[in-house]
Amino acid sequence: MNIAIISLGCPKNQVDADVFCHALLKAGHATVADPAGADVIIVNTCGFIESAKAEAIENILLACAYKEQNPDLKVIVTGCLAERYKAEIAREMPEVDAVVGLGSNAALPAIVERVCGAGAERVESYGPKAALALGGARVISTPRHYAYLKIAEGCSNRCRYCAIPIIRGPLRSRPLEDCVAEAKWLAGEGVRELILVAQDPTAYGEDTGEPGKIGRLLDELDKVDGIRWVRILYAYPERITDEFIAAMARSQKVVPYLDLPIQHCDDAVLAAMGRRGGRAEIESAVARLRAAIPGIVLRTTLIAGFPGETEAQYNGLCDFVKAMRFDRLGCFAYSPEENTPAAAMPGQLDDETKQKRADGIMELQARISAELQRQKVGQTLECICDGVDDETGMYLLRSAGDCPEIDGNVLTPADTPLEPGEFYNVKITDADTYDLYGYALLQQKEAPQ
């Protein structure tokens, strides 16, 4: 069968798709980029917040619309939305041919046979959450030179606004040796930048009685030939120990970049959210990181309009953003998620107020970001080339402070040929709020002897 895979949501979800894509190819199927030419469309959904659910439903309906031109087309829905709303999808979307929970991803080759074979049947398959593989053979769906390495699954933090434990279960750390083996394989495939992902990488090893194991993993990844950059996504402030910072600082490959999803700064709001620690722990983590790793780029995520958030608490968050001057920041209006404790809390704010507060934070951060970007004009930054921007015709590069698909880019003119996946020193000549502009300093090749 020709199979089109539409994968939505976070990098962790993309890794899941990479694993089941490999299994489908091994079973003799082929993948196609254009759903119009597919025999089967698999929609790998996200179901984290309301906007993600809306995007997932839209893509499912678009996939089903292809049946008008191809009545034999089969549509399979998997991922977080399928895990969380299995009964609703099965009941309200009869045009979907299979609804597959996360724990049944490994059965997708067999499910394709069931929905496409003689006497085709509608399939609903929901294995236990723990059956979702932590690793395994996979394809690399990102550009060849960078890849995501999932080091853990699920989460045990139990933040009161978050549905991840409901969807994916408690923390399950992947064996260190397995992580390193995949890193070596990725390096052999040409990957130069390795991006570590989990719901909370700093909790890696806690479920096996080995808190702080992330430091050991970083030490081992430092030994992997071929990998030049290692990037860590998501680090919870209360778990940023001096040992973790030391592991980052001593590594030759871990880039000076960290994403700290702090969500708020007010102690009362953080306590209502079910977050561990408070403003003191956040400020301590930031100060220690900046002291130990000069020039570190810090990114964070905030939630505005959490139930009960007062105007004074919101104003305090604005003052905090001004004082901390994070390099990167995203702020989201609180989204009440079904079956989470926060959704039943008193003091729910109206959507307009929540969005206005989130927009206000982003306006503040835009000014901070523009100032920090201007300070880079005149500097020379080591950057990796991601390719050419179709719209501008310029080369897209990233510095160590830029995560792919999340942060900005470093753009250079196309008159100097650059190779995707190669590293270049770029002289920065201009900046806007999120992107930098410059030109690559190409070293002169030595004349043959």
Across the chain, what does the average pLDDT equal?
94
Task: Tell how far CA 410 is from the center of its chain.
Answer: 20
Long-range contacts for 71-74 (Cβ within 8 Å, ≥24 apart)?
Answer: 72/39, 73/38, 73/39, 73/40, 73/41, 74/39, 74/40, 74/41, 74/98, 74/112, 74/115, 74/116, 74/120
- Residue-wise pLDDT for 401-432, tens only, equals 999 999 999 999 988 899 999 999 999 999 99
Where along the chain do its domains lie? Answer: 2-131, 146-372, 380-441
Mean pLDDT of 80-99: 91
Task: Among 2.40.50.140, 2.40.30.10, 3.30.2090.10, 3.60.10.10, name the CATH number for the domain at 380-441.
Answer: 2.40.50.140
Q: What's the pLDDT score for residue 443?
A: 59
- Residue-wise pLDDT for 157-186, tens only, equals 989 999 899 999 999 999 999 999 999 999
Q: Which of 45-49, 96-100, 262-266, 359-363 has the lowest mean pLDDT?
A: 45-49
Task: Among 3.40.605.10, 3.40.50.920, 3.40.50.12160, 1.10.10.10, name the CATH number for the domain at 2-131.
Answer: 3.40.50.12160
**pTM of full prediction above 0.75:** yes
What is the rounded end-to-end Cα distance, in angstroms, of the chain?
55
Q: How far apart are CA 382 and CA 374, in angstroms?
A: 17
Q: How far apart are CA 415 and CA 392, in angstroms?
A: 13
DSSP state of 231: E
Q: What's the pLDDT score for residue 444?
A: 36
pLDDT beyond 50 at 447: no
Q: What's the pLDDT score for residue 448?
A: 37
Mean pLDDT of 281-304: 97
CATH 3.40.50.150 fits 146-372, yes or no: no
